[in-house]
Amino acid sequence: MSVPTLEPVRETTRPARQINVAPPPVGLRYDLTRFRLLRTLLRKRWFQFMLVLPNQAIFWLVIVAGVVGRQIAPANIATAITWYLWFCIVFVLMVGVGRGWCAMCPFGGAGEWLQRKSLFKRKDGSVGLGLKYPERLAKYGLLPAVGIFLLMTFVEEYFNVAGPGAPLDTALLVAFILVFSGTTFLVFERRVFCRYLCPLSGLIGTVGQMGAVAGFRAKDRNVCLTCETKECMRGSERGYGCPWYEYPGQQSANAFCGLCSECYKNCSKDNIGLFVQPPLTSLYSNVKRRMDVAVGIALLAGLVWFQQLNAMTWYGNLEARVNSLIGWPHYPNPILYLFFCLIPLPVLYGLGRATAAGSRLSTGGRMGWRRLFVDWAYILIPVFGMDYLARQLPKFFDHVLRLVAVVSDPLGLGWNLFGTAHLKVANDALMSQNGTVIAQIVVVLLGLAGSLYAAWRIRQHTAEYAGLTAAARRVQGALIALSVLAVAGMQVWWYVLMKAAE
């Protein structure tokens, strides 16, 4: 079966001279800037710096502890805080908030401080080349970030970094991301790294559309129509132009708002708010759902399927045979890794074709399979996103209490700074093996409910579906429901077979 040819979404790294304002957004319920304290904080240039600073300190501690500390994973804060706590928190923020992690990310924060020659004050000029990100690459949107994430995950699996393996490996991984980020900020303008190249950005930009924070948006889009200065994008004496190349007057999804608040500081008309919305709204309120997001979530779904399947005995036997055939030294085998990462693409292609055929057979008119391929990907974001979260639970439940001990002895050198290094609770699990499996199943079922809801709302908000006959809509609805149930059922069965394997 052939897979769909990618038709990238056209993007630009330059603010347009004339910007058309989109229709009013769906589902925006509350503007958080109604709270006076938050309004005051968002106006302060030091506020974003204070969000980033604690994480910056933690990740420098990870690097130092990984290099000079004891090379035993559970006894070193580098591995304990990174793989037992941080990675799970990132996924919780992703599905609950959206780009919440981006607002406090130490990697983008450090690069931006370097680029702007300032920790938080507004300064003219910048350090580095200040190049535009190439248009021919920008049109592929999130896909470079997804590709980098897949590559880094393969390297991490090969060296067992997140096993966790040696703390030094974790330190080197964090240091590499910091160097990669800093180099990108010195070569390109604004937050090119964060939008296009950050290993986590592809994951957050897809799965994060489940989140309840819509981002910074225009309060009244008619005001944006008459605004000639576009300070939110071009900047002013109060702040920088949007580092993410976003225009608050036409946003309909939270995929690319990094919550940096620059547009809020800049708007002289006080027409920007920080909005919250019902979860999943960004999945169905998009003015135009994107092919790069669709292909990206398919590839990321394949990655989490690979991580689930490789925990089973039969996969180990299969990989041993393939490794012996090609002379590959050990797990993960690159051929099998690529194969499983690509599997969802033909699956979604087939679902798109089948749904389009179902419309025609029911005499309901025509819908192109490309449109349906993209819609199918968006429908499955909740079940795939919650699958990623469920995959992190065994490490969290089994080992997060190790932090009780390592905060007193971060380098594993026998210290007892806070008197907690020898507490027995540090060796306990938060949940039993059966409890962890039940929690994973519950999380996947929540994803199932989210996907079914997203499917209903996408069909409700899309004119092409409304133009179908009642028979065609019933055929499509049944196919969507059965397919989503099949995907979620498969994931639940895998978690039962894995028995809370990490």
Where residue 4 falls among pLDDT bands split at 50, 70, 90? very low
| Cβ atoms of 250 and 285 closer than 8 Å | no
Where residue 369 falls among pLDDT bands split at 50, 70, 90? confident
Q: pLDDT > 70: what percent of the chain? A: 92
Average the pLDDT over 26-44 and give the result. 88
Q: What is the pTM of this model?
A: 0.91
Per-residue model confidence (pLDDT) at position 286: 66
**Sheet architecture: strand order including 30-31:** 30-31, 272-276, 213-218
Per-residue model confidence (pLDDT) at position 241: 93
- Decide if pLDDT at 440 tops 70: yes
Where residue 366 falls among pLDDT bands split at 50, 70, 90? low
Average the pLDDT over 55-59 and give the result. 95
CA separation (Å) from 44 to 11, 121, 134, 257, 266?
31, 10, 33, 19, 12
Average the pLDDT over 271-286 and give the result. 90
CA pair distance 318, 133, nearest whole angstrom: 42
CA pair distance 132, 96, nearest whole angstrom: 33
Where residue 442 falls among pLDDT bands split at 50, 70, 90? very high
Beta strands in 135-265 (DSSP E): 213-218
Give tens-digit pLDDT for 232-263: 999 999 999 999 999 998 888 899 999 999 99
Per-residue model confidence (pLDDT) at position 225: 87
Average the pLDDT over 194-203 and give the result. 95
Q: What is the mean pLDDT of the chain?
A: 89
Per-residue model confidence (pLDDT) at position 252: 82
Per-residue model confidence (pLDDT) at position 360: 62
Tokens of 44: 């302060």
Average the pLDDT over 28-42 and give the result. 91
**Looking at 67-81, 180-194, 328-342, 349-363, which range is the least confident one?**
349-363
More confident residue, 24 or 289: 289
Count the neighbouring beta carbons within 10 Å of the beta carbon of residue 363: 10
Per-residue model confidence (pLDDT) at position 480: 87
| Cβ atoms of 216 and 243 closer than 8 Å | no
Where residue 368 falls among pLDDT bands split at 50, 70, 90? confident
Per-residue model confidence (pLDDT) at position 27: 58
- Decide if pLDDT at 107 tops 90: yes
- Decide if pLDDT at 358 tops 80: no
Query: Of 146, 84, 486, 449, which is closest to residue 302 (Cα–Cα)?
Result: 146
Per-residue model confidence (pLDDT) at position 2: 46
- Decide if pLDDT at 10 tops 90: no
Per-residue model confidence (pLDDT) at position 466: 72
- Decide if pLDDT at 326 tops 60: yes
- Decide if pLDDT at 20 tops 60: no
